[in-house]
Amino acid sequence: MEFAELIKTPRADNAVLHRPFYAAVEGTLCLTGHHLIFSSRRSDDGEELWLLHSNIDSIEKRFVGSLGTIIIKCKDLRIIQLDIPGMEECLNIASSIEVLSTLDSVTLMYPFFYRPMFEILEDGWSAFLPDRDFELLNSVTDEWRLSSINKEFSVCPSYPPVVIVPKSIDDEALRKVAMFRHGGRFPVLSYYHKKNGMVMMRSSQPLTGTNGRRCKEDEKLINATLRPGKRGYIIDTRSLNVAQQARAKGGGFEQEVYYPQWRRIHKCIERFNILQESLIKLVEACNDQSHNMDRWLSKLEASNWLTHIKEILTAACLAAQCIDREGASVLVHGTEGTDSTLQVTSLAQIILDPGCRTIRGFEALVVREWLQAGHPFQQRCAQSAYSNSKQKWEAPVFLLFLDCVWQILRQFPCSFEFSEQFLIMLFEHAYASQFGTFLGNNENERSKLKLPQKTMSLWSWVNQPEELEKFMNPLFEANSLVIWPSVAPQSLQLWEGVFLRWNRPSKYLDEAQEEVFSIIKYNRLLQAKVNSLRKQLAELETDDRMQENV
């Protein structure tokens, strides 16, 4: 398909761009296959706006006489308005944007066309491989093995080709367990707590059904993660009620009679459209320009967004507490094990493992616990807060995870190597990107699409030193401790950096951030100077003495 066919009016002069808190800009609007480009007519500021079509969540058009207005609402929550003279031009442009922003073929997406303008120092596609994780694990314990049972994605279509499982469980048993778990997602290792050797596993729900089916291999597998005489916790991310109802559909939960060494705890993390609706309501509240304080608070409350944050964080803290404080191993699952399960396992690791609070470690966590673990990004992030599509599979699961990380970062501002900007960047790229990293729903799809060969990895770009610098937290000081966030309502805040980003003036806050940077920078500069002077002095003084000794 030629994009040119979809673009009847590739260019409109004398268009006007309106954004909140900026003066209107007059300029030229251009459409390409993947971008909407607006360049200011005034040559002195040379301002250009590049918007990926895939970032556009919804578009509205209005006419006053022959002056058309397009309102573009983006997945990153920004809203812009374009005035375009000429009814026909405006209609053409609007319909082109509509088509180009909703292409349904993945291979037509920008990552397949994007050619990087930078030199690739390290290919992000091979920067985080499971083999390397296993090597690290193997250096501290020999109780685990790397299984290639899923090489062809035949045992579990949403798992990566290799997974880490208890050494004592062979592939034959794994195959049986996979039959007993929803979507074939048998329990695999998610995290090994070096301090006490406790582990966190994740899976999907067991398929017990109404008649209480059991699977000896499944019991054996998860018991294999326990130390002799020790007990473990199963954290089911669904309420008991929901879990019980799942039995009618063939799902279910581990029954205590068959898993006597495990204690089950039910948490209630919402899924799918409940989350999507929460996001829609929250963004609506943030964009509400009414003058009433009460209305803001009640709308914030009614969105339930912070309630979801609190529930997810609480479940993650509980998992971490079981591992670190109770000295017990943990198995986490919900229904499919691709959403709330991953929120809990990845957040628990941020709490427990200082490594996950570095940039590199966090990237590895996202790759391991989200991409390889089969979180269906393509489905979940297809639309954002402004879309009317209401598809069941759309849900801001990953955004909630990032928000939870931000909440912890806010409570421990010196314990993370990365800044809020890093999290915002990941949010943007999960929804629309020139990179192939977040395309596809699992490793299986990614390999069929040949993403590593045909697209660029986000990590190849981010991990360049000059890019990384933008995402560094100047306050970072390595903190080797477990960090326990507070989940009290007073401690949880709206993530302004994402939700109010486009509707509040940020000048003063940006200035404050610059101030922080310059304080730290100046300090480091002086340190370097002092060190070099000391060195110089020491050298001169030894020279001195040597000459004296001659």
Look at the block and give the residue holding tokens 């001169």.
540
C-alpha dihedral (444, 447, 449, 450), degrees to nearest 10? 180
Q: Which is nearer to another protein, 120 or 414 (CB)?
A: 414
Binder to another protein among 87, 106, 146, 300 (CB under 8 A)?
300
129 phi, psi to nearest 5 deg? -105, 145
CA distances to 69, 80, 90, 168, 292 from 66, rounded to whole Å, are 10, 20, 9, 74, 36
Contact region with another protein (CB under 8 A), list: 174-182, 290-298, 371-379, 390-398: 290-298
For residues 166 and 203, give the distance between their C-alpha atoms in angstroms, rounded to a whole number.
14
Under 8 Å between Cβ of 75 and 383: yes
User: Which range binds another protein by CB under 8 A, 29-37, 41-49, 323-331, 439-447?
Assistant: 323-331
Closest approach of Cβ 312 to another protein, in Å? 12
Query: Which segment (99-107, 150-158, 365-373, 494-502) binds another protein by CB under 8 A?
Result: 494-502
Give the C-alpha separation, 249 to 550, whole Å: 93
Asked if 316 contacts 330 with a C-beta cutoff of 8 angstroms, the reply is no
Residue 468, interface with another protein (CB under 8 A)? no
Stretch that binds another protein, among 93-101, 316-324, 438-446, 458-466 (CB under 8 A): 316-324
Q: Minimum CB separation from another protein for residue 411, in Å?
A: 5
Under rule CB under 8 A, residue 496 binds another protein: yes
User: Which DSSP category does 340 fall into?
Assistant: H
For the segment 216-245, give every residue that binds another protein (CB under 8 A): 231, 236, 239-241
Number of CB atoms found within 10 A of residue 468's CB: 15
Residue 55 vs 349, nearer CB to another protein:
349
Residue choice 204, 304, 460, 463 for contact with another protein (CB under 8 A): 304
Site for another protein in 510-539 (CB under 8 A): 511-512, 515-516, 519-520, 522-523, 526-527, 529-530, 533-534, 536-537
Q: Give 237 or 387: the residue with its C-beta nearer to another protein.
A: 237
The region of 40-48, 119-127, 379-387, 471-479 touching another protein under the rule CB under 8 A is: 471-479
548 scored as a contact of another protein (CB under 8 A): yes
Q: By CB under 8 A, what part of segment 330-349 binds another protein?
A: none
| CA–CA gap between residue 148 and residue 164 (Å, rounded) | 9
| 126 binding another protein? (CB under 8 A) | no
Q: Cβ of residue 81: shortest distance to another protein, in angstroms?
A: 18
Residue 314 binds another protein, judged by CB under 8 A: yes
* Alpha carbons 433 and 60: distance in angstroms, whole number: 23
Question: Would you say 107 or 245 has its CB closer to another protein?
Answer: 245
What is the enclosing helix (H) or strand (E) of 548?
Answer: helix 507-549
**Residue 285, CB-side half-sphere exposure with 13 Å CA sphere:** 22
Closest CA to 513 of 503, 521, 502: 521
Residue 526's Cβ-side half-sphere holds a number of Cα atoms within 13 Å equal to 6
CB-wise, 21 or 63, nearer to another protein? 21
Task: Report in angstroms how near the CB of residue 210 gets to another protein at its nearest.
Answer: 14
Residue 441 Cβ vs another protein, minimum distance, rounded to whole Å: 31
Nearer to another protein, 116 or 505 (CB): 505
Asked if 347 and 404 touch (Cβ cutoff 8 Å), the reply is yes
Residue of the chain from 71, 127, 224, 265 that contacts another protein (CB under 8 A): 265
- The verdict on 317 binding another protein (CB under 8 A) reads yes
Give the CA angle between residues 36, 38, 39 to the nearest 5°. Answer: 145
**Can you give the three-state secondary structure of 343-361, one letter per residue?**
HHHHHHHHHHCHHHHCHHH
Q: Smallest distance from the beta carbon of 124 to another protein, in angstroms?
A: 31
The residue (of 298 and 389) whose beta carbon lies closer to another protein is 298
Work out which of 379, 494, 497, 501 binds another protein, going by CB under 8 A.
494
267 lies in the binding site for another protein (CB under 8 A): yes
Give long-range contacts, CB 8 A cutoff, 24+ apart: 21-27.
21/504, 21/505
SS3 37: strand
* Per-residue DSSP letter, 489: G
Among 32, 81, 255, 358, indicate the residue that binds another protein (CB under 8 A). Answer: 255
The nearest distance, CB 227 to another protein, in angstroms, is 12
Q: How far is the CB of 356 from another protein (least distance, A)?
A: 16
Does residue 490 belong to the site contacting another protein (CB under 8 A)? yes
Query: Is-contact 439 449, C-beta < 8 A?
Result: yes
Beta-sheet pairing, 198-202 with 262-266 = unpaired
Neighbouring residues of 237: CB distance < 8 A, sequence distance ≥ 6:
267, 268, 269, 315, 332, 333, 334, 340, 341, 343, 344
**Is 248 a binder of another protein (CB under 8 A)?**
no
Residue 290, both tokens = 């009414």
Residue 531: phi, psi to the nearest 5? -60, -40
Residue of 361, 482, 497, 501 that binds another protein (CB under 8 A): 482
211 scored as a contact of another protein (CB under 8 A): no
**Closest CB 95 distance from another protein, rounded Å:** 33
- Rounded Cα distance between 261 and 447, Å, is 39
Tell whether residue 307 is a contact of another protein (CB under 8 A): yes
Contacting another protein within 407-466 (CB under 8 A)? 410-415
In this structure, which amino acid lies at residue 64? V
- Residue 254 CA to its chain's centroid (Å): 29
Q: Shortest distance, CB of residue 492 to another protein, whole angstroms?
A: 7
Residue 505 is a binding residue for another protein (CB under 8 A): yes
Number of residues in contact with another protein under rule CB under 8 A: 99
Q: Which x/- pattern over 142-171 shows residues binding another protein (rule: CB under 8 A)? A: ------------------------------
